């Protein structure tokens, strides 16, 4: 079990309690912390996105360009870089957030909810230097270039000291964005650094001074053990297309269920096989970003303890005579060999068959119009054959989706799974993992 997971249980060692993690300092109940994230002292940038209080649950993710990262200064931001949390503020007083930051020299938002200035902290502004925007209410001087700020219930704090009251939040569910406050783009993200941030579903006013002190002495995080890491490798369905939130993506559901650190290495619009194309626009060239040509940077570079591969749907749909189930099977086998050679046990690899799509969807989106039920079956068989030959786990995702909803599991674009479809894929993969 990793050090981060051990932190959840605060075990007794040699007659003494182990150190309480900073986000639970002072006795905050584990259940009161929705998410805690530490960029300073993290093992890597992607490890800094994991929820320390509940590994696999509400992992941070980026939309657009992700912030820079430094082990000392944490996440660094300039324009158009931010992280999404999937943590909406609850109606006051049942919500708190605390953040440690540095190097802010101009107006901008450290974090806040989408859809305008409904919830945001701007630590520096030219006219009203410190602003806590909670239903468009509060502005407070002086500004801060760095330190620890918090909103706890209806109370505002800076560097652990009570500073101002803010109004009750209206309770509408809006996602919180780190370095931004508007959904879909970085409307006013601050230029500066964030070292750590934590969100709570309780009022932590009584704990803010001790949490602030703990944040000012953040520990260096141990590297997550390889056995606790999982790479999801595939196309847009692995990326999460069709899911309403990141937590509803099949890969996130699997990681949360198994309490793994997830690295989502999905890449939209890609195929697995590294085959010279004959009849599509890039004639005479290999498919860009193909799995066979990129597994070294998308999978083995992370030396994962677990790998789930969900490829083949784009391969079978590509309208190109050069693409065949035999070449797909060969390239998939070579990828498995490389992953095993890197150190991931074959028994910790799951190969999923190409997911289900409706019959009419085989004719959608040129040049992806070459699919048929017969080709789908042949690529499914290729996945099963590689799993049997290489000793990996196998998940017949196609058959499971066929038997448990079929067309009802597909979203409005008639291609990508909806939330129920992602849940079905996750259920099938988890059954294979646990077999």
Judged against a pLDDT cut of 70, whether residue 62 lies above it is answered with no
Given this model, what pLDDT does residue 272 score?
A: 95
**Would you say how long the chain is, in residues?**
435
- The CB-side HSE value for 103 (13 A sphere, CA atoms) comes to 12
Which residue ranges form the domains of the chain, and what is each CATH number? 3-215 (2.60.120.200), 226-434 (3.40.50.1110)
Q: How confident is the model at residue 179 (pLDDT cuts 50, 70, 90)?
A: low
Given this model, what pLDDT does residue 286 score?
A: 60
- Express each pLDDT in 286-342 by its tens digit: 666 899 999 998 999 888 899 999 999 999 999 988 899 999 999 999 999 999 999
Q: How confident is the model at residue 25 (pLDDT cuts 50, 70, 90)?
A: very high
d(CA 90, CA 79): 28
d(CA 242, CA 410): 8
Given this model, what pLDDT does residue 256 score?
A: 82
Element (H, E) at 316: helix 313-317
Given this model, what pLDDT does residue 280 score?
A: 54
d(CA 122, CA 329): 53
What are φ and ψ of residue 360, in 5° steps? -65, -20
Return all residues near 323 (Cβ < 8 A) that are at least 6 apart: 271, 273, 275, 277, 315, 316, 370
Q: Which residue, chain included where needed, has tokens 């196309």?
A: 235
3-state secondary structure of 296: helix
- Express each pLDDT in 116-170 by its tens digit: 445 667 776 544 444 444 444 444 557 788 999 888 887 888 899 987 654 444 4
> How many other CB atoms are found less than 10 A from the CB of residue 326?
10
Q: Which residue, chain included where needed, has tokens 């939040």?
A: 169
Q: Nearest-5° angle of CA 319, CA 322, CA 328?
A: 95
d(CA 148, CA 143): 12
Q: Which residue has the higher pLDDT, 169 or 247?
A: 247
- Express each pLDDT in 259-283 by its tens digit: 788 888 999 999 999 887 655 555 4
d(CA 180, CA 166): 20
Given this model, what pLDDT does residue 130 score?
A: 46
Q: Which segments of 146-271 does DSSP mark as H helices, in order?
A: 208-215, 236-239, 250-258
Under a CB-based contact definition with an 8 Å cutoff, are residues 155 and 162 in contact? yes
């Amino acid at each position: 079990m990793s050090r981060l997971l051990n932190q959840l249980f605060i075990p007794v060692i040699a007659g003494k309690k182990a150190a309480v993690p900073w986000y639970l300092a002072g006795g905050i109940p584990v259940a009161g912390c929705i998410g805690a994230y530490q960029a300073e002292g993290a093992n890597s940038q992607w490890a800094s996105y994991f929820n320390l209080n509940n590994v696999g649950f509400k992992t941070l993710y980026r939309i657009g360009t992700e912030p820079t990262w430094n082990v000392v200064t944490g996440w660094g931001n300039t324009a158009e870089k931010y992280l999404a949390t999937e943590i909406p503020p609850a109606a006051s007083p049942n919500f708190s957030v605390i953040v440690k930051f540095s190097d802010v020299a101009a107006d901008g938002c450290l974090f806040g909810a989408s859809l305008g200035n409904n919830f945001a902290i701007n630590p520096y502004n030219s006219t009203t230097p410190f602003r806590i925007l909670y239903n468009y209410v509060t502005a407070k001087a002086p500004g801060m270039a760095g330190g620890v700020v918090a909103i706890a219930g209806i109370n505002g704090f800076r560097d652990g000291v009570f500073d101002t009251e803010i109004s009750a939040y209206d309770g509408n569910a809006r996602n919180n964005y780190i370095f931004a406050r508007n959904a879909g783009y970085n409307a006013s993200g601050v230029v500066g650094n964030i070292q750590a941030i934590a969100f709570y579903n309780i009022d932590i006013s009584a704990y803010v001074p001790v949490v602030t002190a703990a944040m000012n002495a953040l520990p260096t995080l141990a590297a997550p053990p390889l056995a606790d890491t999982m790479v999801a490798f595939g196309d847009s369905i692995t990326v999460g297309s069709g899911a309403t939130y990141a937590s509803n993506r099949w890969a996130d559901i699997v990681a949360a269920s198994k309490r793994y650190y997830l690295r989502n290495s999905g890449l939209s619009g890609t195929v697995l096989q590294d085959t010279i194309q004959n009849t599509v626009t890039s004639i005479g060239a290999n498919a860009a970003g193909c799995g066979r040509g990129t597994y070294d940077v998308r999978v083995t570079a992370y030396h994962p303890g677990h790998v789930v591969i969900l490829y083949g749907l784009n391969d079978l749909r590509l309208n190109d005579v050069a693409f065949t189930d035999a070449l797909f099977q060969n390239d998939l086998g070579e990828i498995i060999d490389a992953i095993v050679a890197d150190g991931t046990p074959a028994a910790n690899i799951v190969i999923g068959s190409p997911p289900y799509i409706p019959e009419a969807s085989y004719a959608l989106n040129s040049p992806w119009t070459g699919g048929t039920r017969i080709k789908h079956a042949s690529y499914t068989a290729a996945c099963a054959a590689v799993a049997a030959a290489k000793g990996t786990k196998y998940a017949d995702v196609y058959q499971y989706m066929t038997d448990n909803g079929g067309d009802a599991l597909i979203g409005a674009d008639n291609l990508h799974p909806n939330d129920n479809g992602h849940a079905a894929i996750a259920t099938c993969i988890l059954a294979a993992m646990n077999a």
